[in-house]
Amino acid sequence: MRYKFLFSIFVFFFIFVFIALGSWQIIRLNWKLELINQIEKSLKENPVNLSTATQKNYLRIKTNGSIDFEKQIYLYNLNENGKPGFEVISPIKIGNKNYLLNRGWVQFDKKNNKIINIVDESNIIGILKKQIKPNRFKPKNDISNNYWFTLNRDDIFKFTGKKFSSYVIYLSGNNELPKPKLITANISNNHKKYAMTWFSLAISILLLYLYFRKKNY
């Protein structure tokens, strides 16, 4: 009898844990949905002046500055169709602060071609995004050949001799060379699936427990 009692405690402990984990995922789901809603709202707003705005993720901004085309970074990436090429990352000085300006994607053969450097520096409209930490599993940057896999801060300083804002400006517009990256609120949101998994495990264990209890008690 004692072992049956201990077994029941063991089973209900795991049921409680799985329900708690499922409930936590529901909380995370609501938080993520609210975040996506805020991002979508921000992306629809009119651009604000960068010099007077409070900087935050997905803020639409307008500004002007001086682009350093000589220290342009070519970041390996795929376009929306899965074709390999480069994202063109240009250092830009705005006031007394340096930013990285992601101007969009180009084919490999357009690297260092002056045709991609036609941009109105007096009318920069884009979206701010906080720079994410570099993926440690990607290859190391080939700084000498200006062939980059990550925007590693130390490597950028070695290449440009400058320190930059933690926010990257993603240029907006209808340019073809480079073609600006489309910024959306399409961020990972698997919390509903995770919640269903935990709740399903809790229900399955409960049903198995009731079945064996009826059969053996």
100-156 pLDDT per residue, tens: 999 999 999 999 998 999 899 999 999 999 988 888 888 999 999 999 999 999 999
Spell out the long-range contacts of 22-25 with Cβ–Cβ below 8 A and sequence spacing 24 or more: 22/194, 22/195, 22/196, 22/197, 22/198, 22/199, 22/202, 23/195, 25/191, 25/192, 25/194, 25/195, 25/198
- Render pLDDT for 21-38 as a digit per residue (tens, 0 to 9): 999 999 998 888 888 888
State the pLDDT confidence band at 8, using cuts at 50, 70 and 90.
Answer: confident
pLDDT at position 11: 84
186 pLDDT more than 80: no
Percent share of the chain, pLDDT over 70: 97
Q: Does residue 46 belong to any structural domain of this protein?
A: no
Non-local CB neighbours of 105 within 8 Å, separated by 6+ positions: 77, 79, 85, 86, 87, 88, 178, 179, 181
Res 137: pLDDT: 85
Distance linking the first and last C-alpha atoms of the chain:
9
pLDDT at 31: 87
pLDDT, position 211: 81
177: pLDDT strictly greater than 90: no
Q: Are residues 29 and 93 in the same domain?
A: no
Q: Would 130 be classed as within a structural domain?
A: yes
- 179: in domain: no
**Shared domain check, 31 and 79:** no
Q: Is residue 48 part of a domain?
A: no
Cβ–Cβ under 8 Å, residues 138 and 116: no
**Domain total for the chain?**
2
Q: Is residue 180 part of a domain?
A: no
Same domain for 63 and 167, yes or no, is: yes
**pLDDT above 80: residue 5:** no
| Residue 100 and residue 26 share a domain | no
Mean pLDDT computed over every residue of the chain: 89
Q: Are 34 and 70 within one domain?
A: no
* 98/142 same-domain check: yes
Asked whether residue 93 is domain-assigned, the answer is yes
Considering the domain architecture, whether residues 114 and 155 belong to the same structural domain is answered as yes
- Same domain? For 159 and 63 the reply is yes
Q: What is d(CA 102, CA 44) in angstroms, rounded to the nearest whole number? A: 20
Is the pLDDT at 213 greater than 80, yes or no?
Answer: no
Classify residue 26: in a domain, yes or no: yes
Find the mean pLDDT for residues 35-48. 86
Domain limits for position 24: 2-40+190-216
Question: Is 1's pLDDT higher than 70?
Answer: no
What confidence category does residue 217 fall into, taking pLDDT thresholds of 50, 70 and 90?
Answer: low
Q: What is the pLDDT of residues 59-74, one digit of tens each?
A: 999 999 999 999 999 9
Q: Does residue 36 share a domain with residue 116?
A: no
- Residues 144, 211 share a domain: no
| Residues 21 and 65 reside in one and the same domain | no
Residue 200 lies in a domain: yes
pLDDT at 2 (0 to 100) = 65
Shared-domain flag, residues 78 and 8: no
